[in-house]
Amino acid sequence: MKNVRQDEWETLIEQDSNAVVLDVRTEDECAEDMLPNAVCINFFEREHFFDEMRKLDRDKNYYVYCRSGNRSGMACQLMESYGFENTVNLNGGLLLWKGDLK
């Protein structure tokens, strides 16, 4: 897992044609606002998270965020323990995000 700040996060995603952005907050949080093109998979609903994680392509690069960076860090660690080689955690999550949300 790589931990990055927003400026590096945006640069990495722009240059990565294999990027998938995951929002691991709750459905209610995702309904309020999200990063563009993100997929919402609630980390707190463990069984659902595992089910959805198993469907993901392990050859993709996953850019994972949450509200503060804690859940996304745990999600990245869990994903790596299941064979995902490329996970990137957004330090500070949306609390520190400066810019557009959808």
Catalytic positions: 66
Nearest to 11 by CA among 76, 59, 58, 63: 63
Residues with Cβ within 8 Å of 62's Cβ and at least 6 positions away in sequence, in order, are 20, 21, 22, 56, 76, 79, 84, 86, 87, 88
59 is written with which tokens?
């050859």
